[in-house]
A and B are shown apart, each in its own frame.
Chain A
């Protein structure tokens, strides 16, 4: 008798009809969007604040160097002593005072620039000032040596190295960014999915133990059927929740940004910077074109198929372990000691993915970790956009499936014995003994 569909249906419906599940499904995207909106709003607020920086330049070299910008106003002070200038700046509640004391030669300049302010100044502002002063000093020194301004201007070249693979496929920096984005999203999605829904499976196994229904069920179905039913049913509920999150989140994003006029992408500054650099080099029009070609350059079919297989394989591998933990313990507080060995490889996978794959997608570390079954789903998913030979993908998948089958066998053993054990917290030694029952 195959009861698997029945069990899957029950698990799915109980999860989906559960009140807190419904609340979380609809509340999470709202909270997330609200959070992003607040962060975006705050950073915009910060940027919009106008600062005034007073300049006391005793050398007179920097007359035209500091031009007012949107957020920063430079006021030049003339003929004041340093003490008076500081007092004045304090009174006006300016952001700070840039003081350049009189010097004999350009060479002795380094120690003669100082910044006075109420609080320690922001890093961005300081580096901005430093950059301007350095550039101006360099220009002045060059001019002193007889180089004309036009020559200096002409010596500035902007370089964007064009990339081409041996078989003639063109790519650009933006290609890499797109690849990173795809791989990163895929790997991270899997990571989140395993943590959220693995825990859910574990809790639902524990629930069956604490409500003492397990023996009733187990006299009707095989433990492995129950376990697989639980895993699949919970995963389907997870997919449903994820889909609602994506759709709802997308809609909310559009609504919020159109109503409040907040550019939500502002919140994700670091990626923005990368994109901006690329954009400056090529201009918006070319950029859009490049983005399009970059996406179409991706091995889409390979990506989709690999995503499906590695996602399912990795998820099932981990969730069967979660189910085994749930079966081995009596309540959630006892799960801690068994959680670490599960979380470690998972976190390791994400770290390897984020730090190593970006640096060198086909290096030894990345390659090795994309074969180890406990890390391969995340790492391989991050590597694939950069082009991984099919034999590597196949071998890795084969290893993953093999480990998955072993894990299910192992989990089913623990599960079969564990669900009928009450009252004591098992040790690893006992778990090992259960395998032989």
Chain B
């Protein structure tokens, strides 16, 4: 059993609107799984089904091989995009309450809260009301509440919104650490740089259908165009460029470098290897820069959504 969470052909209708159409995903244990998609694609509906907030019309969801049951609530930690806390309730009381709802005993919740409050250096907030805290501070509390009961599966919907870069990094490190301690993470966001940074698997949902999923690296390999970004120096630039253009498809490239004269994106065909290209280039000019162009998550996202 390598997948912690499996969704089998899950469909959900709201009246005449089909919010999810036969969506299947498999989230491997210990992975950070990026759930991507444009606004209104159906991500939140899928997440709510996993959290048993709504029931699927068709299909099933398995957690650790078992169909979802009410008892699984304590195995899941969910940080929704629309989140908030009781404004007039004190931080400590509120955390205890929410932890108890997740099945922790009061004393257990207290000791774990102490650990987290010390770790994030927010111990002196215990007796403050939420309305006295800033938005970022409240977000920190919310994060603690989400992970406090040590769930097997963590679901974060836009976890970094509202954080300054320092705190966003802090939370990112905490997420990575939780993953290292054995938690599996589903991560939904529109910020592709954090997908790049964190996710090892992704699934892309578009217009209620899953259009792409797999390991991020596999997908990138699939989407790569055998293009190389090169920077060359030569006394005879025009002749060199003409020479290259004769043999390969060439596009102009922009990247930052100290003193390159020629900057090109060179696409090679399947029969040519990168070494062939390199030796061709070294025979003509001095190579300062030679990098394979890897499609970014953002490129893949835009391309896939546009094509569907």
Contact = CB atoms under 8 A, between A and B. Distances in A.
Interface in B85-108: 85-89, 97-98, 100-103
Contact of A219 (B53, B86, B89, B100): B53
A10 B97 contact: yes
A14 B73 contact: no
A212 B53 contact: no
Interface in B1-42: 14-15
A218 B51 CA distance: 9
Contact of A14 (B70, B83, B86, B142): B86
Contacts of A6: 97, 100-101
Contacts of B73: 1, 219-220
Interface string A216-237: 1111111000000000000000
Nearest to A208: B86
B14 A437 contact: yes
Interface in A163-215: 207-208, 211-213, 215
A206 B44 CA distance: 22
B205 interface: no
Tell me the dominant secondary structure on chain A's binding face. Answer: loop
A211 B70 contact: no
Given A6-B97, A212-B84, A433-B15, A1 B71 contact: yes
The winner among B52, B80, B84, B101 for most chain A CB atoms within 10 A is B101
A216 B145 contact: yes
A219 B78 contact: yes
Contacts of A1: 70-71, 73-74, 103
Interface residues of A, number: 25
Contact of A211 (B76, B80, B87): B87
B82 A219 contact: no
A222 B51 CA distance: 11
A32 interface: no
Contacts of B70: 1, 222
Interface in A1-33: 1, 3, 6-7, 10, 14, 18
B77 to A, nearest CB: 9
A92 interface: no
Contact of B88 (A18, A212, A217): A18
A437 B80 contact: no
A424 interface: no
A212 B15 contact: no
Nearest to A433: B15
Contacts of B89: 14
A426 to B, nearest CB: 13
Residue among A219, A422, A436, A437 with the most chain B CB within 10 A? A219
Contacts of A339: none
B76 A213 contact: no
A437 B82 contact: no
Interface in A381-437: 420, 422, 433, 436-437
Nearest to B76: A219
A3 B99 CA distance: 11
Nearest to B15: A433
Contacts of A220: 73, 98, 101-102
Contacts of B85: 211, 213, 216
A220 B82 CA distance: 15
Given A6-B100, A220-B102, A436 B15 contact: yes
Nearest to A7: B101
A6 B103 CA distance: 11
Contacts of B145: 216
Interface string B46-72: 001001111000000000000000110
Interface string B160-187: 0000000000000000000000000000
A377 B51 CA distance: 40
B134 to A, nearest CB: 16
Nearest to B55: A437
Given A1-B71, A436-B15, A215 B101 contact: no
Contact of A212 (B51, B76, B82, B102): B82
A219 B52 CA distance: 7
Contact of B53 (A18, A420, A436): A420
A154 B292 CA distance: 127
A435 to B, nearest CB: 11
B15 A215 contact: no
A6 B105 CA distance: 12
Contacts of A3: 100-101
Contacts of A216: 78, 80, 83-85, 98, 142, 145
Contact of B84 (A213, A218, A222): A213
Nearest to A3: B101
Interface in A253-289: none
Contact of A215 (B14, B71, B80, B88): B80
Contacts of B102: 220
Nearest to A226: B101
A347 to B, nearest CB: 33
B86 to A, nearest CB: 6
A177 B145 CA distance: 59
A14 B88 contact: yes
B186 to A, nearest CB: 13
A433 to B, nearest CB: 5
Contacts of A211: 84-87
B97 A212 contact: no
Contacts of A218: 53
17 contacts: A3-B100, A3-B101, A6-B100, A18-B88, A213-B84, A213-B85, A213-B86, A215-B83, A216-B78, A216-B83, A216-B85, A216-B145, A218-B53, A219-B76, A219-B78, A433-B15, A436-B15
Interface of B: 14-15, 48, 51-54, 70-71, 73-74, 76, 78, 80, 82-89, 97-98, 100-103, 142, 145
- Give the top 5 A-B pairs by smallest Cβ distance, nearest first: A212-B84, A220-B101, A215-B80, A211-B84, A219-B78
Given A14-B88, A216-B80, 7 more contacts: A1-B71, A1-B73, A207-B86, A213-B84, A215-B80, A219-B51, A220-B102
